[in-house]
Amino acid sequence: MRVLGIESSCDETGVAVYDSQAGLLAQALHTQVDLHAVYGGVVPELASRDHIRLLPALISQSLGEAGLAVADLDAIGYTAGPGLAGALLVGASVAEAMAMAAGIPALPVHHLEGHLLSPLLSDDPPAFPFIALLVSGGHTQLMRVSEVGCYELLGETLDDAAGEAFDKTAKILGLDYPGGPRLAALAAHGETGRFRLPRPLLHSGNLDFSFSGLKTAVLKVVSSQDWRAARRADLAADFQQAVVDVLTAKATAALVRTGMRALVVAGGVGANLALRAALDAAAARLGARTYYPAPALCTDNGVMIAFAAAQRLMRGERPRGEATIQVRPRWLLAGLSCPCPSGR
């Protein structure tokens, strides 16, 4: 089964062609970092316009590299949510129009499901069931994954996502956009233990997260100190360590409570080296393993959308009724239809 995947939920325009037998045939990705940098964050209207400008060329590029025409495709998958409404509508409109013209199905895909399943593309994929830590700029969740389409929410952030806290703290520290990666790079030059920062909900007894208070604690430190570059690096390191401590503790608790021995880590923050080291060590102590997508698949991309769509189509799922262009800027992953035998 050959599927074209389109990702346009925020500030990356991603297109890929995936073959269920041959694997990934082609992909193209454009990031809008330079476009939004002058504003210090993503401007939704500009993001939508850039998707409109780039999608046709990226689709042509991907199909050309795969050696396929639209008529050779079996389906088109596209991100229908969550994300920026205007950006989502661009991808949905293109996908539905192409599918209708070619007489093939178009399948709306949950953005987080794409991230969650992306480690299955690796040479050594995890086996079901597993625990998934979804950690990005907009989401921080722990999920029990029984199989494709069967997801149980175990815990989530009550306010800021981990990636959002990274970005906001980077602004407090005077770092340029995109803040999260720049803060991580600065933290690599700092020493931990100089600043006493909280670990929110670390001992809450549940698997929920909260990072807003941690960001506020950093703001209070900055407001009361005379800053030098070296001290800024130390504060960045302590902030990062606080986030890593919480994420690691909660993910470890999820493994213990469920008896699972496989932890999938997906989303942009999952590329953080300090987090990976901590999760690897914690899982090893439990006799468990951690699994990550390839570095290029940690950020938003079309590959994960094509793959997720292919997995659902191979399980017999088909779009219902006539083609409609409908997106869901807010869409709960646990609310997806569940085809697993247990009915969970």
Full DSSP string of 169-220: HHHHTTPPSSHHHHHHHHHTTS-TTSS----TTTTSSSS-B--HHHHHHHHH
- What stretches of 236-285 adopt beta strand conformation (E)? 262-266
- Positive or negative CA dihedral for 280, 122, 55, 93? negative
Q: How far apart are the first and last CA of the chain?
A: 28
In angstroms, the CA 22 to CA 1 distance is 9
Q: What is the pLDDT along the chain (344 residues), one digit of tens a residue?
A: 999 999 999 999 999 999 999 999 999 999 999 999 999 899 999 999 999 999 999 999 999 999 999 999 999 999 999 999 999 999 999 999 999 999 999 999 999 999 999 999 999 999 999 999 999 988 999 999 999 999 999 999 999 999 999 999 999 999 999 999 999 999 999 999 999 999 999 999 999 999 999 999 999 999 987 666 668 999 999 999 999 999 999 999 999 999 999 999 999 999 999 999 999 999 999 999 999 998 889 999 999 999 999 999 998 888 766 667 889 998 988 767 555 544 44
Number of CB atoms found within 10 A of residue 21's CB? 6
The structure tokens 């997260």 sit at: 209
Which amino acid, 208?
D
In angstroms, the CA 108 to CA 343 distance is 22
In angstroms, the CA 177 to CA 68 distance is 37
Number of CB atoms found within 10 A of residue 251's CB? 27
State both tokens at 125: 């994929």
Nearest to 286 by CA among 251, 311, 314, 320: 251
Q: Which domains does the chain have, with CATH numbers?
A: 2-116+297-335 (3.30.420.40), 128-292 (3.30.420.40)
Cα 338 to the center of its chain, rounded Å: 21
Contact 263, 255 (CB under 8 A): yes
In angstroms, the CA 95 to CA 97 distance is 6
Could you tell me the pTM of the whole model? 0.92
Pairing mode of beta strands 2-7, 75-81: parallel
Cα 21 to the center of its chain, rounded Å: 25
Q: What pLDDT is attached to residue 317?
A: 85
